[in-house]
Structure 1
Amino acid sequence: MTAKVGVILIHGLGGTQYDLGSMHKILQKAGADTHAVTLPGHGTRPEDLIPIRAEQWIDLVVAQYRELQPQYEQLHVMGMCMGALLALAVCERVGHTAQQGKLVTLAPPIYIDGWSTPWYAGLRSLFYLIPGVASRMKVEEGEPFGIKNTLVRAVVKAKFERGDNFHYRWVPMACIRQVDRLRSWASAGAKNIKAPTLIVHAREDELTSLRSAEYLQASIPDARTVVLENSYHMICVDNDRDQVANSVLEFFGFPPMPERARKRMRGAVAEEKNDNAQS
Structure 2
Amino acid sequence: MRECYEQLAATYKYVLVAGLCIGAALALALAVEVPNLTAISLLSVTLNYDGWTIPWYHWILNIAYRTPIRHIYSLKEKHPYGLKNAALRAKVEKSMRTQGDSEIGNASLSMQYIYEAKMLARYVTRNLAAVEADCLIMHVIDDDISSTANAEIVYSKIGASQRRKIFLDDCYHIITMDNERDLVARETQYFLKRRLRGVEVQRIHCRLLGRHILKTRLMIDK
TM over 0.5: yes
Alignment correspondent of 1:141: 77
Equivalent residues in 2 for 1:155-234, closer than 5 Å: 155-163=91-99, 166=103, 167-220=105-158, 221=160, 222-234=162-174
Among 217, 224, 245, which residue is 2:185 paired with?
245
CA RMSD of aligned residues (A): 1.4
Percent sequence identity is: 28
Inter-CA distance 147–127: structure 2 relative to 1 (3 Å threshold): same
Alignment correspondent of 2:47: 110
Alignment correspondent of 2:211: none
Inter-CA distance 165–240: structure 2 relative to 1 (3 Å threshold): closer
Alignment correspondent of 2:20: 80
**Runs (5+) with no aligned partner, structure 1:** 1-60, 255-279
TM superposition score normalised by structure 1: 0.65
The Cα shift of 1:174 comes to 1.6
**Runs (5+) with no aligned partner, structure 2:** 195-222
The Cα shift of 1:228 comes to 0.3
Of Structure 1 and Structure 2, the greater strand share is in 2
Task: Give the aligned length.
Answer: 190
Structure 2: which amino acid aligns with 1:107? Answer: S
The Cα shift of 1:165 comes to 5.8
Q: Within the alignment, does 1:90 sit opposite 2:26 as a pair? A: no
Of Structure 1 and Structure 2, the greater helix share is in 1
Among 148, 151, 159, which residue is 2:87 paired with?
151
Secondary structure, in 3 states, of the residue corresponding to 1:142?
coil
Structure 1 residue ranges (4+ consecutive) displaced by more than 4 angstroms after TM superposition: none
Structure 1: which amino acid aligns with 2:52? Answer: W
Alignment correspondent of 2:200: none
TM superposition score normalised by structure 2: 0.81
Q: Within the alignment, does 1:123 sit opposite 2:63 as a pair? A: no
1:96 and 1:193 in contact (8 A); partners too: no
Mapped partners of 2:98, 2:111: distance in 1: 24
